[in-house]
Amino acid sequence: MINIEIIRSEEDWALLAEPWNELLSASITNSPFLRHEFLSAWWQHRGGGEWDTDELFILTGRTQAGELVGALPLFLSKNHAEKPTLFLLGSVEIADILDVLVSPDHLTEFVDAALAYLTGPDAPTWENLQLDNVLEDSPSLAGWQAAAEKHGLTFTQERLQPSPCISLPGNFDDYLNELDSRYRREMVRKIRNALGYFIPVHVARVSTAENLHDEMEDFFTIMRENAEKNRFLTEAMAAQMHAVTEAAAANGWLDLRFLVVGREKAAAYLNFIYDNKVWVYNSALGEKFTALSPGISLIGMLIQEAIEEGRTEFDMLRGDEEYKYQLGGQDRWVVRAVLSH
């Protein structure tokens, strides 16, 4: 039997940091966006201003012996129809892959216990439980559907976005051979041209808190050269990204990279290295050195390095930008599941 406990305060949630991350490492979906420090940073800034709610509502599940075996990180707000709705922490824009935290062995029991509580007399008032950015192949979806039927709820599911991912082979030549021939030639040519440029070119790596704030400000400066990204990068969003990268650096999974031409930063990728995978979170491409194709040159070098370091995946995350497929990305989808009264 699983006992459900409710967390409503940040102070109580903070006490769970270590067991939370231990649970995540054995969960059906092990994503950096579900790490305690990521979600805590997200909550502090409400997704860069995406939300203004203050109602934290986290369900945890423990065995009779007190072992933490499940966590459903929720908050209570209103959906676009102004209906009271429980959302996953991290929803919707800046946490790419979300889910319930639970091992395969406890999935069915925990989901059932969570819904039993949420449909019981002690639950808050809600009309929808909305689960955004869950991978389409997550076993939790079938678990939610079965539990919804048991507890008299309606279950719906829809695709939101593709989330391309590259499975990395054992060596870079094998990776190149998997690409379409024209993209393979372009990749090799652009990396060669960048490394042979008349001004020295190198890749700089930022993975610790030292000078991180200034490095992120450089990243933002390059981002703002793109009109769409400049609109995205509000003051609140910049504060959110500072908090997330500081949390990632403090816990050892930040990987911020710059392509540096001489002394100038021409392009950058904000990545996470987690669970032996590279997660490509955001990018910034400058306009000064376009002849070098700095974005493709840099990401090609990073893929080569990831393969040499034995990484298993290069996850391009949400979005259907064409370059992701040119680099060998294979589609997965993230979905939205909604359970309704």
Whether residue 282 is contained in a domain is answered as yes
Whether residue 329 is contained in a domain is answered as no
Whether residue 326 is contained in a domain is answered as no
pLDDT at position 53 is 78
Whether residue 323 is contained in a domain is answered as no
Residues 256 and 137 in one domain: no
Tell me if the bond preceding 92 is cis, omega within 30° of 0.
yes
Residues 157 and 179 in one domain: no
**Summary mean pLDDT of the chain:** 96
Share of the chain above pLDDT 70, in %: 100
Residue 258 CA: distances (Å) to CA of 58, 242, 264, 306? 37, 17, 9, 16
Whether residue 327 is contained in a domain is answered as no
Residues 10 and 156 in one domain: yes
Per-residue model confidence as pLDDT tens digits over 176-230:
999 999 999 999 999 999 999 999 999 999 999 999 999 999 999 999 999 999 9
Is the predicted pLDDT of residue 171 greater than 90, yes or no?
A: yes
Residues 14 and 155 in one domain: yes
pLDDT at position 54 is 75
What is the CA angle 308-36-54, rounded to 5? 140
Which of 218, 302, 231 lies closest to 266 in space, CA to CA?
218
Contacts of 248 (CB under 8 A, 6+ apart): 32, 37, 38, 254, 272
Residues 170 and 131 in one domain: no
Q: Write phi, then psi, for 11 (nearest 5 degrees).
A: -65, -45
DSSP class of residue 120? S
Residues 124 and 245 in one domain: no
Positive or negative torsion for Cα 81, 84, 85, 89:
positive
Whether residue 321 is contained in a domain is answered as no
Residues 95 and 241 in one domain: no
Per-residue model confidence as pLDDT tens digits over 218-273:
999 999 999 999 999 999 999 999 999 999 999 999 999 999 999 999 999 999 99
Under a CB-based contact definition with an 8 Å cutoff, are residues 101 and 31 in contact? no
Is the predicted pLDDT of residue 88 greater than 90, yes or no?
A: yes
Task: Give the Cα separation of 226 and 192 in Å (integer).
Answer: 26
In sequence order, what DSSP letters do the residues of 159-189 get, joined into one string? Answer: EEEE--EEE--SSHHHHHHHS-HHHHHHHHH
Under a CB-based contact definition with an 8 Å cutoff, are residues 335 and 159 in contact? yes
Domain count, the chain: 2
pLDDT at position 114 is 98
Mean pLDDT across 43-62? 94
Is the predicted pLDDT of residue 115 greater than 80, yes or no?
A: yes
Residues 134 and 258 in one domain: no
Under a CB-based contact definition with an 8 Å cutoff, are residues 325 and 175 in contact? no
Which of 88, 107, 108, 85 lies closest to 99 in space, CA to CA?
88
Whether residue 309 is contained in a domain is answered as yes
Predicted TM-score (pTM) of the model is: 0.96
The DSSP H or E segment spanning 277 is strand 277-285
Under a CB-based contact definition with an 8 Å cutoff, are residues 110 and 23 in contact? no
CATH code at 151? 3.40.630.30
Residue 301 binned pLDDT confidence (cut-offs 50, 70, 90): very high
Residues 211 and 117 in one domain: no
Whether residue 95 is contained in a domain is answered as yes
Under a CB-based contact definition with an 8 Å cutoff, are residues 176 and 188 in contact? yes
Residue 312 binned pLDDT confidence (cut-offs 50, 70, 90): very high
Residues 10 and 153 in one domain: yes
Mean pLDDT across 95-119? 97
Per-residue model confidence as pLDDT tens digits over 120-161:
999 999 999 999 999 999 999 999 999 999 999 999 999 999
Q: Which residue range forms the structural domain that includes residue 16?
A: 3-162+335-340
Residues 172 and 96 in one domain: no
Residues 151 and 34 in one domain: yes
pLDDT at position 300 is 97
